C-alpha cells in the first residue's frame, strides 16, 4: 500500500501533563518509524510487564466535531446493532477464514482528519506490511451502555488503537479467567489509547454499562497522562455522568483480499 498521507506532519501532544496544551511535539514525516516510536515512549502507561500507551488530545476539537458529523451522516444501512449499541464497520468485512475483503477507508479517516496515517506515524503498526490501520469499527455508546469483557481475536495484528470522541469511558482490562478488572484506564474525549502484546492477546477488556463513573471507586493506571482537567476530576474522586461516546477502534488485518468486482450481466434478449 502506498502512503500518500505521510507527507503531513503529525502533532503528538506533550507527554508531560504539567505543560500547556499548546506545547506540542511535532513528528514530521521524516521521523515516521523509529523516531515516532521513540516519541511514543513519553505516553507509555506504567503497567509493569504490559504495553499500553495513552495520548490525550490526539485529535483537535474541530477534527472531533468533523468526525462526529461524518459518523452521524453515514448512510442508515451502514449502522448495525449489537447488544443494544450501534456500530459501523469501515475498511471491509472479514471472510469466514479471517481475511479482510478490502473496501477503501473513507477520506474522513485518511485525509481530513488524517486519523489513520496519524496513527501509523506513531510507529505502532510498523511490524505490519500496511504500517497503518486498514480496519475501523465505530461504536456508539449511549449513557448506560457498555461492552462485555472480550478479546479482539486472532484476525487482527495484536495491537489496537482506539480513539474516543465526545464522551469519556473507563476501560477495564481483565487477566485471563478473571472477571475483576486488573487495570483500568480513563479514556477522555479526543484521546487515543494503544494496547499491544499480552494486554491484547491475553487480557480481555470491558466497559461497564453505567450511567455514571465514580472515580473514587477506581484506580486509574493512566492518571499521570490525563489532561489536567480530567486528572483533577479523577483525583478529587468525583462522579461523572456519561455522555454519548463514539469510539473508533483501529486495527490491522494483514490477510487481505480484493473485493470481487460486481459482475454486470450483459443485456441480451435471451430468455432468463
Ligand atoms: O469502544 C471501545 O473503546 C472498545 C470497542 C471494542 O472493544 C471493540 O470494538 O471490540
CA distance 202 to 19: 35
pLDDT given at position 259 = 84
β strands within 14-97, DSSP E: 24-27, 51-55, 80-82, 85-90, 92-94
C-beta 226 within 6 A of ligand 1: no
CA distance 142 to 124: 30
C-beta 147 within 6 A of ligand 1: yes
Mean pLDDT of the chain: 86
What is the 168 CA–ligand 1 centroid distance (Å)?
13
Name the pTM for this structure. Answer: 0.85
C-beta 152 within 6 A of ligand 1: yes
C-beta 247 within 6 A of ligand 1: yes
- pLDDT tens, position by position, 19-37: 333 333 333 332 333 344 5
Q: How many CA atoms lie within 13 A of 272 on its CB side?
A: 1
C-beta 88 within 6 A of ligand 1: no
- Residues in Cβ contact with 257 at an 8 Å cutoff, skipping those fewer than 6 apart: 95, 99, 100, 101, 102
pLDDT given at position 12 = 53
What is the 261 CA–ligand 1 centroid distance (Å)?
31
Ranges of the chain with pLDDT below 70: 1-38, 261-272
Looking at domain 4-258, which CATH architecture does it have?
Sandwich (2.60)
CA distance 131 to 41: 18
Asked whether the beta carbons of 92 and 250 are under 8 A apart, the reply is: no
Secondary structure class of 198 (helix, strand, coil): helix
Amino acid at each position: 500500500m502506498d502512503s500518500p498521507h505521510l507527507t503531513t506532519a503529525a502533532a503528538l501532544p506533550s507527554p508531560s501533563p504539567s505543560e500547556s496544551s499548546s506545547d506540542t511535539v511535532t513528528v514530521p514525516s521524516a521521523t515516521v518509524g523509529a523516531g515516532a516510536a521513540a516519541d511514543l515512549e513519553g505516553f507509555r502507561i506504567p503497567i509493569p510487564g504490559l504495553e499500553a500507551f495513552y495520548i490525550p488530545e490526539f485529535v483537535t476539537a474541530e477534527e472531533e466535531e468533523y468526525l462526529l458529523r461524518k459518523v452521524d451522516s453515514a448512510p442508515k444501512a451502514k449502522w448495525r446493532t449489537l447488544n443494544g449499541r450501534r456500530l459501523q464497520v469501515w475498511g471491509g468485512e472479514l471472510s469466514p477464514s479471517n481475511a479482510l475483503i478490502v473496501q477503501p477507508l473513507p477520506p474522513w479517516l485518511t485525509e481530513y482528519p488524517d486519523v489513520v496515517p496519524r496513527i501509523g506515524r506513531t510507529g505502532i503498526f510498523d511490524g505490519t506490511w500496511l504500517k497503518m490501520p486498514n480496519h475501523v469499527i465505530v461504536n456508539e455508546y449511549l449513557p448506560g451502555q457498555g461492552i462485555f469483557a472480550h478479546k479482539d481475536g486472532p484476525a487482527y495484528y495484536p495491537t489496537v488503537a482506539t480513539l474516543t470522541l465526545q464522551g469519556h469511558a473507563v476501560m477495564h482490562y481483565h487477566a485471563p479467567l478473571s472477571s475483576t478488572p486488573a487495570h483500568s484506564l480513563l479514556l477522555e474525549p479526543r484521546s487515543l489509547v494503544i494496547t499491544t502484546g499480552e494486554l491484547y492477546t491475553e487480557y480481555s477488556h470491558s466497559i461497564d454499562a453505567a450511567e455514571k463513573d465514580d472515580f473514587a471507586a477506581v484506580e486509574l493506571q493512566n492518571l499521570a497522562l490525563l489532561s489536567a482537567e480530567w486528572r483533577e476530576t479523577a483525583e478529587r474522586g468525583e462522579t461523572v455522568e456519561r455522555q454519548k461516546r463514539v469510539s473508533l477502534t483501529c486495527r490491522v488485518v494483514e490477510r487481505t483480499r480484493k473485493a470481487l468486482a460486481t459482475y454486470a450481466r450483459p443485456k441480451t434478449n435471451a430468455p432468463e
